[in-house]
Amino acid sequence: MKSVFYLFGFASLIFVVIAQPSCNFNFDTNSKYFCPLTGGNIDASYDGEIGGAHFENKADNDVLFLYADEAVKEFILKKIFDRFKNLEILEFRKGSISAISKDFFYNCNRLQKVLIKESVFVDVPVDIFGNCTAITEIDFGNNNIDNIESRAFAGLENLEILRLNENELKAIRPNVFSPLTKLQTLDLSKNNLKNFDANVFLSNTELRVLILAENKLDRLDSKYFNSLKQLTSIDLTKNVVNSTEKTLVDNLVGINSVKFKENSCIDLDFENFKQSDIDDFKTCIENFNGAPIMILSSVALVLLVISKLL
């Protein structure tokens, strides 16, 4: 009987050790001291402790990168910045994070890159990154996001890359991207977007790459691109675009990559959008709704030719 009792106790001890999150501290390929977090599949009884033994002469404040790809729950997130105050990169994949809030990121003044992918949260609330002004990249791809509040990205004046692909977005609030004045790459592909407010990109004057592939966009408003003078690449593959404004191309003078395949128009795929492609693109858009329209004014055409020759 005692043997059975001891065996049961030993098995329980093993379970506790396995269940507690633990850092296998090491150095990544960029020589950053980092924590690959394991044993994250725990229940609500978790007390917030993260195990693991440091390398000699290393401590919590030396950890710059934390990575986890197990079933990490959101109450682990609440403890990370208490312990690792100098984190620069936070990466969670294949987790079970059902919600995020600003409580997770209250002590993140050194954080530069956040990736929370393949999880289950649906909402990006107001001001979650209020103290994270150093962040340059956020990847929330492949979650279940269907709502982003207007001030969700407030304070991120240094953000350059934002990936929201493979979510459930049906609409974007007009001011969602307003704080992101240094944004250069925006990926909204593989959502359920049908249209935007005309001024949705008004503040994103540094945007260079815009990926809108595999949505349900049925019309292109030229105002989308009014302020995007730095835009060089746009991907509209696999939408249902069947109408546009005749001034559309006037705002794409600096573009050098256009992906327009599998829309209601003929297939177009310009890796290097150049003068010889203008007629094809013009014909494509002229034939929307079966009604020829004049796309390029003579001034816009001259500007486009000049820009491609320089």
What Rg, from alpha-carbon coordinates, does the chain have? 24
Domains identified in the chain, total number: 1
AA identity, residue 36: P
The answer to whether 200 touches 177, Cβ cutoff 8 Å, is yes
User: Which residues form the domain of 140?
Assistant: 2-309
A 10 A CB-CB count for 202 gives 17
Q: State the CATH number of the domain containing residue 116.
A: 3.80.10.10
H or E element: which one contains 304? helix 298-309
Per-residue pLDDT at 16:
41
Burial label, 165 (beta-carbon count in 10 A; 0-12, 13-18, 19+)? buried
Per-residue pLDDT at 297:
36
The helix, strand and coil proportions of the chain, stated in percent and rounded to the nearest 5, come to: 20, 15, 60
From first CA to last CA, the distance across the chain in angstroms is 87
Per-residue pLDDT at 120:
87
H or E element: which one contains 162? strand 161-163
pLDDT average per 10 residues of sequence, the chain (310 residues): 45 47 90 86 66 92 90 72 91 84 84 93 91 94 94 94 97 92 98 89 94 89 83 87 63 73 61 55 52 36 50
- Cα 277 to Cα 174: distance, rounded to the nearest angstrom: 33
